[in-house]
Structure 1
Amino acid sequence: MIKQLDNVNENIAEQIYAVFQHAYRIEADLIGVVNFPPLSRSIKDIQGSKTQFYGFYVDQIVAAVIEIKLEGQQLNICSLTVSPNYFRRGIADTLISYVLGLSYFSKALVETAVVNLPAIKLYEKHGFIEYKRWVPSHGIAKVAMSRIC
């Protein structure tokens, strides 16, 4: 089951934080870095975020979270994390399909690490194509992808 999460609620923010921490530790290992910026995000940061969070529940447990921001006709996927206990079950695929079907927008954008091939393949499956590569100040090469809707 997917439902929108009230990230201002401390209990919900803690659940989002837990999924982020578990998933982003795996991603940091995949990328080969110790200092991974998403791991520094606090519960207070999550509570103060103006983005929308959607959770995928398995037996009343938040197993995965997708974070989005709608800006006019553009959907930005800010983060997509699945708790390692729930990997390889199609949950990320389901969450992407869900947010792409939320409302009318003309373009969707997402960024990920260049070496995160599983994420890149998943987004390509949903019609995203690469349009930019760069290395931000934290030193982790990134790729930006877009999908015209």
Structure 2
Amino acid sequence: MIRPIDITSEKEALDVLKIQLPSYQVEAELIDFHGIPALYDTAETLMMSGETFYGYYENGSLCGAISFKRDNETIDIHRLMVHPAHFRKGIARQLLHWLEQNNLQEKRLIVSTGARNIPAVRFYEKSGFRKTGIELIVGTLAIARFEKLRTK
């Protein structure tokens, strides 16, 4: 079941951290960069993020989450995470699909991920996103940017 997460609630922010930290740790290993900002979030930083969060729950337990911000007619996906114990169950796909189906008024979706995070890159490409660029951040860390345009 997908439902909103009240990220301004400390309890819910802590629940998100319980999936965010292990999820982003996997990405850190994949891209060989342990400075991903999401690894250093706290309940307080999540609570102040200004992002809208939705979670995927199984038997009352949070297994995955997506967060985003709206800007004009664009949805900027900030986080899409699944606890490693729930990888390969289609949870990320369900969260992304839910977001798209419940925000049909927005014409554009954008998202970024580590360029060397091959599973995430393939996921976004299979989901209809096209790569718009790669930005070298520091050393060997590169971020791949994607967008998906929709016609109304």
Moved over 3 A (4+): none
Query: What does the per-residue CA deviation read over 1:66-97, in whole Å, with 9 as the maximum and x for residues that have no partner?
Result: 01111110011101010011010000000010
Partners in 2 of 1:34 and 1:71 — Cα distance?
Answer: 29
- The amino acid of 1:102's aligned partner reads N
Cα distance in structure 2, aligned partners of 1:53 and 1:140: 27
Q: Deviations 1:44-78 (Å, cap 9, x if unpaired)?
A: 01011111000000110100010111111001110
SS of the equivalent of 1:141 reads strand
CA distance in 2 between counterparts of 1:63 and 1:38 reads 17
Question: Which segments of 5 or more consecutive residues in structure 2 lack a partner in the other structure?
Answer: none
Using the TM superposition, give the Cα deviation of residue 37 of structure 1 relative to its aligned residue in structure 2, in angstroms. Answer: 2.1
Query: What is the one-letter code of the residue matched to 1:4?
Result: P
Distance 1:19 1:140 in 2: 23
Alignment of 1:47-62 (within 5 A): 47-62=47-62
Listed one character per residue, the Cα deviations across residues 89-146 of structure 1 (whole Å, up to 9, x for unaligned) are: 0000000101111221111100001111111111111210001111124752011000
Alpha-carbon distance between aligned partners in 2 of 1:54 and 1:138, rounded to the nearest angstrom: 33
Could you tell me the TM-score, scaled by structure 2's length? 0.94
Question: Percentage identity across aligned positions?
Answer: 27
Aligned to 1:65: 65
Which piece of structure 1 moves more, 135-144 or 77-86?
A: 135-144
SS in 2 for 1:88: coil
Give distance in 2, aligned partners of 1:36 and 1:125: 24
SS at 1:45's partner residue? helix
- Return the letter of the residue paired with 1:67: S
